[in-house]
Amino acid sequence: MALEKKKAKILTVDDDPEVLSTISFLLKKEGYEVREARDGKEAIKEIHLFKPDLIVLDIMLPILDGYEVLRELRKEYTEESYVPVIMLSTREKVEEKVKSLERGADDYLPKPFEPIELLARIQASLRIKEREEHLKKLALIDPLTGLYNRRYLDTRLKEEINSAERYNYPLSLLMLDVDNFKKANDTWGHHFGDEVLKKVAQVLRISTRETDLQFRFGGDEFVILLPHADGNGSKLIKERIRKNASQVKFKHPFPLSLSIGYSIFPMETRDSQGLIQIADARMYGEKQKKEIL
């Protein structure tokens, strides 16, 4: 989804209540969704909870200054989750501007600033972010199913684990495999096999929550990440997937059945590969039971 002005989320960070109020009022008037932070520690907390599209960040802050916040942001967030930062400072020296840009800021604006200029710089940064996200998304999407690909799973899984660990909530992973997929391919051809995979992707989209993430792992295998879902939560999603899959009809007599394995962070493992291996083993065990029956 494009970062439309009315939907973009902006975090403003400043220890001056008057400046903070002025910026927030200005941005809300333009239709942005805005959150505020008054020190560096609060800013880092809001970055994880609010997940802003852009940050307006003052350099001189209590507890952690703007440079420290910027360092934490750039260290933790990957290229795929890049957040542009506009630094503000009462220091008008060229050296301060250069220092900000060298440390990872995208723009720099001295105080006092003209509101119209701040808005223009925010809009420009969001346009650049939107174009870059579009290009990155093309590289992270499986062209057949439209789901995220294996490359993005490796990156996003680590991010989700870090977030779950930091804020102490469970994260479930589901791994799915299409039953008798090779037989369908051999019997009715690869075009039909492609149609099956597209239908599976549709089932996963309608069966999961807005916050869940679906991936094509490879071949006829899929992975779903379920933030804030424990064993009971993942069970509900599994049942919904099975129900929706059973209702899919094809032009050939092929019943859509899925073997599904699960794993839960941190109860079963705290490792990204461990989550995949546990879910994969359970999925394979379920498939073996079906073959025996």
Active-site residue list: 220
Q: Which long-range contacts (CB under 8 A, 24 or more apart) does 187-190 make?
A: 187/252, 188/252, 188/254
Contact 112, 123 (CB under 8 A): no
Residues 6+ away with beta carbon under 8 Å from 234: 172, 174, 226, 262, 264
- Determine contact, residues 48/77, Cβ cutoff 8 Å: no
Amino acid in the structure at residue 284: Y
Q: Please tell me the distance from the alpha carbon of residue 222 to that of residue 242, in angstroms, as a whole number.
A: 14
Helix/strand/coil (H/E/C) assignment for every residue in 91-123: CCCHHHHHHHHHCCCCEEEECCCCHHHHHHHHH
Burial of 238 (C-beta count, 10 Å sphere; 0-12/13-18/19+): buried
